[in-house]
Amino acid sequence: MRRLAMLLGVVVPLASAPWVLAAEPPKPMLEGPATTPEQIEADWLRQDEVRRPGQTGLAGRPTTKEDAAGGVDGVKNGKWGFHTENEADPWWQVDLESSMVLDRVLLWNRCELAERNNRLMILVSLDGKTFQKVYQNNGTVFYGHTDKRPLEVKLNGVTARYVRLQLPGTSYFHLDEVEIYAVGDSQKNVALGKPADQSSVSQWSVRHGPPVVQARTYATATVIERGRKLAEALRAMGAKIDADAAALEQAASKFKALPPNAPEAAQREVYFQARWAVRRMALSNPLLNFDTILFVKRAPTMFPHMSDQHYGWWSRPGGGIYLLEGLKSANPRIRCLTADMPEGNFAGPDLSYDGKRVLFAYCRWYPHVSAVRNKLEKEKLPDDSFYHIYEMNLDGGSRRQITRGRYDDFDPRYLPNGEIVFLSTRKGVAIQCGRASAAATEANPVCPDSYVRCGGDAYRPVGVFTLHVMDAQGKNLRPISAFENFEWTPMVGRDGRIFYARWDYIDRFNGPFMSLWSTNPDGTNAQLVYGNFTVRPQCVFEARPVPNSHRMVFTASAHHSITGGSLVLLDRTQGTEFERPLTRLTPEVAFPETEGWDDHYYANPYPLSEQFFLVGWADKRLPPHTICTDDRNPPNAMGVYLYDAFGNLELLHRDPAISSQYPLPVVARERPPVLPNTVVWEGSQEGRFLVQDVYRGLEGIPRGAAKRIRIVAVPPKVQPNMNSPVLGVSAEDPGKFVLGTAPIEADGSACFRVPSGVPVFFQVLDERGLAIQTMRTLTYVMPQQTQACIGCHESRDTAPVYGKAPLAALREPARLTPGPSGSWPLRFDQLVQPVLDKACVSCHKPGSGNKGQSLDLTAAASYQSLISFGGEDLKKKAFERDRSMPGQGTAATSKLYALLTQPGGHEGVQLDAPSLDRLVLWMDTYAHRQGSFSEEQEKELERLRRAWSHLFAGGK
């Protein structure tokens, strides 16, 4: 009943009484057959429509003309009629098919993100080649559908055939509708239905106009080719496939004999004969040494985004935890293990090593929660509307809820020692992550979250989630990551390490860099595995080790959608960056967002070998990054399949009403080794860093040039709105506070103490205090641990030098030398303005009568004046450089530093060393106005500076 109501868009009230778990839930409910022959054959035909054998990348994408037609189709609904890619100077135009004397243009804007078009230009042309600008909007935001007041632009009788709309700069371009009226007829829209075009298409582009009907063609040749490759591989594995291989060859002979004009029925018969032969071979695979698969039925999130998809408030209802039994039999069937649970959303299962228990995340669905305008008031939301972690037996035995509180806990994984690693928004606003910060979330169910820096608000808070560990009863909770930003899709490797993705955008562009990392289960030894500089693919999600191989499989996913995309094998022995370590298992699917958007996608790979996988496959496009209705984000896009590296894709189960995904074989698996827990949570909350040789990785920097290492810490963002408060030159700057500096020994080594659980990055400084190179990621230490590295930006495959101890390791770890006032946290008005007031303002102020009065360095204007100096030199240098190159530090290459250090000084003024150091520190930490996100956080940082005084030179 509720499923039918959901699909019809009817809201059915939920019972108001709280749900109480039964001590002994009912046995799994038998639902019915997993597949039917008719469903399998229909699925093959659907695959041929969207997988498009022989094509790669942009298969099935609408043309620019097809999408552009939506701007003149007469439909005005406040959505987008066309949508370009994010690009430089995007445009859309219409051909009126003859020259006309034009009176006016009406522009109906997309109601969401309407401000993108506030500098829109109108250009006209007679020949479609040479355009003349006749209008540019002054920055006013306009709408149309909501207020019935489209932007009206008078053209005053200009003659044109082509009318082009264009945005200056880099952006997406989208409008709802364009109307054009000629002089003499104020009622006729001369643009309606006329040919249109645009500069590009995007994920959100669609075909407008009647569909093109084509005669069906059968991909028989491709089926035979893939089947022969499968047969060869299975024979090498000892599979008994002779009869099915012979049936495939019989079909091949019939296909070869078919005349070009053979009846459709004859083509269809041969096609299905080949298909069924290949399917029988695929299910004869010796690696299918199990007969039951666990999977999840669920509707994907209503807000597609790599982060938002994991919040309970965007969930959609339906589904549950299921078993597919009799996988290789003639009549496989499915059973639901959660039929008694209130309707909600299920995700992220994991099976115990003995194959008898399952962990999963679940949130109850409440119709009103997604529409709540202020989700920051978590206490007003139901506790079970957040994802919590559950465990149950596969035999239908007891089920229990493990986590509680208004935090999203999800993606649980069994650890070899019996504990559970999972992702959680419990990180919160603590500057120092540790057992105390985790315990606070157990004592208080509504501790505030921390947030992403590049977007969100109270209606769409994007709370940060990171790795946590707890025991099997949900106790002894602690964070095993102090990372400032998001982490995703943990998986336990065969060596006992945890592999996961994390989002590194410290002072660089936020789009890519969801790279693959690993850590020990106690949180020590966090290190990059792949992709710190790689931009294609954007997201390395769902990485799993391949059995009997050193390779891993992962889903190359998109930033602005749900998890899904192309499947890839990663060979870490071939490097840590770019394409060389990658083998594309699904080359017909582009890396989404960075290479294009296809009409289908894969997800949830479970490797049986380097060639055979259980997967989820969707025959729809990845949904766009906006709150989606069923037409743009179908609840039933995905099914569960058996896939091989030769391209064969065999349906195991697909529910017509709701997606099926996360396939896991129900079979005992080898338990990885238990890695020792070396973290000492009791006592002093500090640790040490040891850098063996900073010069390893600093190509071109002579030995002796590096003198000190600066340690910069990054606090969490404490409110969800982008650029609130304004920290620096971009809308998404990280907060910063400078812990201090430590000496670099003659051999390039350094060792120093830092507070544990605080994310930091390092800068190598020369004798003038200038940054030689800066990290573009974060690191941290666990309590009483030493984290060591080989050098600075050295190759990840570099081995440490043995036989000679680094000089820094032969003495006690250095205490830090703190920076000047205004560096902890960063405060321009305390760090830089005193220097300006002392040495510069007398000349650089309005009305001074000096030539420097045009560069206003008084307190009200100095920040903007300095970052704009020299053609916005600092503004250009201080953000979104994906790499830090040795010797190319911000201050060292700046026009401001060159001016201040020229022989004789600037206009006879020479800054003393402490004053110049202040300006250099400000520039090299990327020109912040301030480094904290609230007054409360600034006070907390000041308190911590006092509490951590023992870490500093001269401290107790």
Across the chain, mean pLDDT equals 92
Alpha-carbon span 945 to 376, nearest angstrom: 29
Per-residue DSSP letter, 480: S
- 743 or 30, which is more confident? 743
What integer is the mean pLDDT of 691-700? 93
pLDDT at residue number 5: 33
Burial zone of 914 (CB within 10 Å; 0-12 exposed, 13-18 middle, 19+ buried): exposed
Choice between 162 and 800, residue whose per-residue pLDDT is larger: 162
Alpha-carbon distance 823 to 835, whole Å? 14
- 564, exposed or middle or buried, with CB in 10 Å at 0-12, 13-18, 19+? buried
* Closest to 355 in 3D by CA, of 384, 382, 323: 323
Lowest mean pLDDT among 550-564, 579-593, 667-681, 880-894: 880-894
Q: What is the pLDDT of residues 637-661, one digit of tens each?
A: 999 999 999 999 999 999 999 999 9
Contact 241, 234 (CB under 8 A): yes
For residue 920, give the amino acid letter: V
Q: What pLDDT does residue 11 have?
A: 30
Q: Alpha helix (H) ranges present in 797-861?
A: 828-831, 833-839
Averaged pLDDT, 223-233 = 98
- 1-56 pLDDT tens trace: 333 333 323 233 333 233 333 333 344 455 778 999 999 999 999 999 999 744 43
How many residues are present in the chain? 956
Q: Over the stretch 438-497, which tens digit does the pLDDT of each residue have?
A: 999 999 999 999 999 998 999 999 999 999 999 999 999 999 999 999 999 999 999 999
pLDDT, one tens digit per residue, over 749-772 is 999 999 999 999 999 999 999 999
pTM of the complete model: 0.85
In this predicted structure, what is the pLDDT of residue 604?
A: 98
pLDDT confidence band for 86 (50 / 70 / 90): confident
**E strands, 729-836, where?**
737-743, 750-755, 760-765, 771-774, 786-789
Percent of the chain with pLDDT over 70: 94
Mean pLDDT within 665-682 = 96
Which pLDDT score is estimated for 18? 32
User: Could you give the CA distance from residue 257 to residue 251 in angstroms, rounded to a whole number?
Assistant: 10
User: Which of 814, 810, 802, 789 is closest to 696 using CA atoms?
Assistant: 789
The DSSP call for residue 798 is: P
